[in-house]
Chains A and B, each alone.
Chain A
Amino acid sequence: QKEVEQDPGPLSVPEGAIVSLNCTYSNSAFQYFMWYRQYSRKGPELLMYTYSSGNKEDGRFTAQVDKSSKYISLFIRDSQPSDSATYLCAMRGVYNQGGKLIFGQGTELSVKP
């Protein structure tokens, strides 16, 4: 079993839809949770960075962390064609080696006009 599980998709939605992306994990030591967006042939771009459980909102994006269920989510409201990309969840513990991240497999999202 992988430490972090993420549905690879692909996920296709119409423009304006609400998108829900999810990851589950098995290591209870994870405390820092991130969502990155990666366009084709580009490096990942940090979207959301949260510590421990709770919600965080930034514009059309909302990140949720439920440590009791070992489950994190990213919601995208009013999705746009420009949101079409691969979304990677990533996480790490507090004391792990130099801040090494554990990544999900990435979910490929396509937003159709």
Chain B
Amino acid sequence: GAVVSQHPSWVICKSGTSVKIECRSLDFQATTMFWYRQFPKQSLMLMATSNEGSKATYEQGVEKDKFLINHASLTLSTLTVTSAHPEDSSFYICSAKGQLNQPQHFGDGTRLSIL
């Protein structure tokens, strides 16, 4: 149980394009979803927290207009990297959490490469 699917797993695109990453909870309802960024050999860095039907809460230093998050249903959240540039290249990981004191379950990440 507690499966989180993230798509795509790898994307390469040109500088200036926008990229959408999907995160789905397959067998539970995710009241809260989280988006992380991870650099090589480093721990996860939280970018934002989103609750279904509400605006996302962004961590300090994360550009809201650059990283658009939508949590339209209890099983789907999307992260759109707008006008992506090479410095946005990274490993992006989502996680989903059910109600109350349930733990976070993670997707398998998306490797984003901007040329």
Task: Write the residues of chain A forming the contact surface with B, with a CB cutoff of 8 angstroms.
Answer: 32, 34, 36, 41-46, 49, 51, 88, 90, 94, 97-101, 103-106
Interface majority SS (helix, strand, loop, mixed), chain B? strand
Nearest B residue to A4, CB-CB = B43
User: Closest 4 A-B residue pairs measured CB to CB?
Assistant: A43-B106, A43-B108, A49-B103, A43-B109
Q: How far is the CA of A32 from the CA of B97 in the complex (A)?
A: 14
Q: What is the chain B residue whose CB lies nearest that of A102?
A: B46
Number of residues of chain B lying within 8 A (CB) of chain A: 26
Alpha-carbon distance between A8 and B6 when the two chains are bound, in angstroms: 27
Asked if residues A97 and B57 are in contact (CB atoms below 8 Å), the reply is: yes
Q: By DSSP majority rule, is chain A's interface helix, strand, loop, or mixed? A: mixed
Across-interface contacts of B108 in A (CB, < 8 A): 42-43
Contacts of A88 in B (CB 8 A): 43-44
Given the complex of chains A and B, what is the CA–CA distance between A4 and B86 in angstroms?
31
B7 CB within 8 Å of chain A: no
Would B104 and A101 count as touching, CB distance under 8 A?
Answer: yes
